[in-house]
Structure 1
Amino acid sequence: MATSPSSSAQAARERVARRLRDLRADAGLTGSELAARCGWTHPKTSRLENARTPPTPDDIRRWCHACGADDQAEDIIAQSRDAESAYMEWRRQVRAGLKRLQDSYVDLYRATELFRIYSPTLVPGLLQTEGYARAVLSGVAKLYDVPNDADQAAAARMERSKIVHEPGHRFVMVVEESVLYYRLGDADAMAAQLGYLLTAGALPSVSLGIIPKTVQRTLWPQELFHVYDDQMVSVELMSARVRVTQPSEVALYLRAFDQLRGMAVYGAEARALIVKAIEALR
């Protein structure tokens, strides 16, 4: 059975509450003793431990200090923020139109210096051509049963993608070789997209790696994810986009990205794989 966004958010809140409860137990404190150290009432401790009330950053810092675990406070604060706001249902996001969704990323992109992108299914949005993007976005509109403004959304995506030519940003992208063969749009649109990858991969700010289908893998294919600097990961699921900011989880995605990047080929070897995919269109 699929998990709803609301139940997923509650499960995330419960993980934060359980972590706080474990800290108290490990410190050998009763609920009343912890409340006294934190300067609040015992019922508040109970509400926080049972996920009935979300903790504030100050609550978490007091709790960790009372348990002698100040070093865990920032990680738990980030986890709590994820629980409250990280799970963003796609249907809700696209309700106002696909173009508006594209525009919503602009500020984040401009604020990011280093992009790390792994995609097992699609050409990354920043390297998509307009015809390919239009096909992808039309599919999104159909899947989520929302008005199809794919033409305007694709144009907005092209405008947003100009950032790859602007100074102050670096883009490290890794895709699976199968991405080159998934036919989105007609043959002409796909040929134009693959042809652009030959050009885009040579841009000074772009590192494009392709993981060959025949490679001896050290890590299996993962979900599509973007890492913005070292601060936030955006994971794209079918039903939602999940934003991860908890430092320990961000570090896990960075380790996975390094493994995936290590399996990829670059330069002439990557171009050869793209040319092979272009030839397969004929």
Structure 2
Amino acid sequence: MTASPSSAAQAARERLAVRLRDLRREAGLTGEELARQCGWSPSKRSRIENARTPPSDADVQTWCAACGAEELAADLVAANRQADQMYVHWKKLHRHGMRRAQDEVLPLYAGTRHFRIYCSNVVPGVLQTEAYATALLSTIARFQGTPDDAPDAALSRTERSQTLHEGGHTFAFLLEETVLRYRIGDAETMSGQLGNLLAVMALPNVSLGIIPFTAPRQIWPLEAFYLFDDRQVSAELLTAAVNVTAPSETEVYAKAFAGLAEIAVYGSRARNLITDAIAAHG
């Protein structure tokens, strides 16, 4: 495995910090002189230059202006935003409620041709029923201490499911059997959700594999991740959403997905696991 996505985000911030330091040196400024021109404390300049504190867009623009490199500000601001978006804390993402976060990903779904989605903990959002999504998102809001707009957010999340029925999109889903057994909401919610999985399996553009408890593990259970074509991976950690676009890292996730797909079951064997889980939920 290569470095984790969170460390890749830090590496991106470090590259930006090096570029800012080089600009300062090229301008013939000491650290103290740059801090004075920017109106900052010397410690702030040091934290930015050593990648200990991520700069704001305004900080990057001020730094470039102090170095006489205003023409580079736009590119460096873009690099700063990309590094910031690689690792986004859920509390920050959900600080105004979850509906906005759900809406923001709709263009990404609309623009993706081939989805590869692996989940080891919950049903992926694009397959969630409104009741399941409401129960899950409400639990997340309570845990995070963020505004609970679960019904509105769930409605937006289920709008993603329209992508399943539009032309030009194909989906490959891999779910650990645990996803079928973990109870999100009440028994009726789970039965409805698992019934929806059975319905989705019939779609011609969908492949749904279940990795049984008894599967011989070639790859250990991983965090949930979403591959959008070959251009982006989104992984869901407890504290943050991680977005990866570096080709070397997206290739690692594609390799993991292929390995997990080899130990999954499909068709009638997958349906049997789902119907067994429905019966177990009562």
Would the TM-score normalized by the shorter structure come out above 0.5?
A: yes
Q: 1:1-282 counterparts in 2 under 5 A?
A: 10=10, 12-14=12-14, 41=26, 83-282=83-282
Structure 1 pair 7–174 and aligned structure 2 pair: CA distance change class (3 A) = closer
Report percent identity of matched pairs.
Answer: 50
Q: In 2, are the aligned partners of 1:235 and 1:243 still within 8 Å (CA)? A: yes
Query: Alpha-carbon deviation of 1:223?
Result: 0.7
- Range 8-17 or range 132-141, more displaced: 8-17
Partners of 2:103 and 2:154 in 1: CA distance: 11
Work out whether residues 82 and 243 of structure 1, in 8 Å CA contact, stay in contact via their aligned partners in 2. Answer: no
C-alpha RMSD of the superposition: 3.1
SS of corresponding position for 1:207: strand
| Paired residue secondary structure (1:264) | coil
Once the two structures are superposed, residues 1-38 of structure 1 have per-residue CA deviations (whole angstroms, 9 ceiling, x without a partner) of xxxxx9995465337879x9xxxxxxxxxxxxxx9xxx
Q: Which runs of 5+ in 1 are unaligned?
A: 1-5, 21-34, 55-77
Counterpart residue number, 2:43: none
SS in 1 for 2:88: strand
Distance 2:79 2:177 in 1: 34
SS at match of 1:174: strand
User: Matched residue of 1:96: which SS?
Assistant: coil
- C-alpha distance in 2, partners of 1:222/1:107? 26
Counterpart CA distance in 2 for 1:220 and 1:42 is 51
Query: What's the secondary structure of 2:250's corresponding residue?
Result: helix
Query: Does the C-alpha gap of structure 1 residues 230 and 43 become closer, same or farther in structure 2, counting only changes over 3 Å?
Result: farther
CA distances 1:201-223 after superposition (whole Å, capped 9, x unpaired): 11111111100000111000011
Provide the secondary structure at the position in 1 that maps to 2:207: strand
TM-superposed deviation, 1:42: 9.4
The AA in structure 1 aligned to 2:114 is L
Per-residue CA deviation, residues 132-154 of structure 1 (Å, 9 max, x unaligned), is: 11111101110111221111111
Distance 1:235 1:278 in 2: 28
1:82/1:244 contact within 8 Å kept: no
**Aligned-pair CA distance for 1:250:** 0.7
Q: 1:8, 1:239 → 2: CA distance?
A: 16
Alpha carbons of structure 1 residues 269 and 79: separation in structure 2 relative to 1, 3 Å: farther
Label 1:80 to 1:215 Cα distance change in 2 as closer, same or farther (>3 A): farther
SS in 1 for 2:95: helix
Q: Would the alpha carbon gap of residues 87 and 159 (structure 1) be closer, same or farther in structure 2, given more than 3 Å must change?
A: same
The TM-score normalised by the length of structure 2 is 0.75
Distance 1:7 1:264 in 2: 30
Q: What is the rounded CA distance, in whole Å, between the counterparts of 1:193 and 1:232 in structure 2?
A: 27
Q: Could you give the per-residue CA deviations for residues 50-87 of structure 1, whole angstroms, max 9, x where no partner exists?
A: 65999xxxxxxxxxxxxxxxxxxxxxxx9987534311
**Partner SS for 1:117:** strand
